A and B are shown apart, each in its own frame.
Chain A
Amino acid sequence: MEYIVLAINAILVKNILLAQYLGNCPFLGVSKKMDTAVGMGMAVVFVMTFATFITWFVHHYVLVTFGLEYLQTIVFIFVIAALVQLIEMFLKKLVPGLYKALGIFLPLITTNCAILGVAVLVIRKDFGFVESLFYALFSGAGFALALIIFAGIRERFRVSYIPKAFRDTAIALVTAGLIAMAFFGFQGIDSSLKALTMN
Chain B
Amino acid sequence: MSKTITHEFFKGFWEVLPPFRLVLGLCPTLAVTTSVENGLGMGLATTFVLLFSNIIISSIKKIIPKKVRIASYIVVIATFVVIVELLMKAYFFAISQKLGLFIPLIVVNCIILGRAEAFASKNPVYLSAADGLGIGLGFTMSLFLVSAIREILGSGAFFGMSVMWESFEPFAFMVKAPGAFICLGMLLAIINLVPKKTA
In the complex, A23 Cα to B110 Cα: how many Å?
11
Q: Of B107, B178, B184, which contacts A184 at CB under 8 A?
A: B178
Within 8 A of B (CB), among A69-100: 70-74, 76-78, 81
Binds B, one of A37-45, A59-67, A112-120: A112-120
Q: Of B105, B109, B177, B190, which contacts A180 at CB under 8 A?
A: B177
Check: B5 CB closer than 8 A to any chain A CB. Answer: no
**In terms of DSSP, what is the predominant structure of the interface of chain B?**
helix
Is B188 a contact of A113 with CB atoms below 8 Å?
A: no
| Nearest CB of chain A from residue B22's CB, rounded to whole Å | 11
Q: Of B25, B74, B178, B189, which contacts A170 at CB under 8 A?
A: B189
Within 8 A of A (CB), among B34-82: 70-71, 74-75, 78-79, 81-82
**In terms of DSSP, what is the predominant structure of the interface of chain A?**
helix
Within 8 A of B (CB), among A146-189: 163-167, 169-174, 176-178, 180-181, 184
Classify chain A: how many residues form its interface, as a range.
35 or more
Is A124 a contact of B78 with CB atoms below 8 Å?
A: no
Most chain B beta-carbon contacts within 10 A, residue among A19, A21, A112? A21
Residues of A within 8 A of B (CB): 18-25, 28, 70-74, 76-78, 81, 110-113, 116-117, 120-121, 124, 163-167, 169-174, 176-178, 180-181, 184
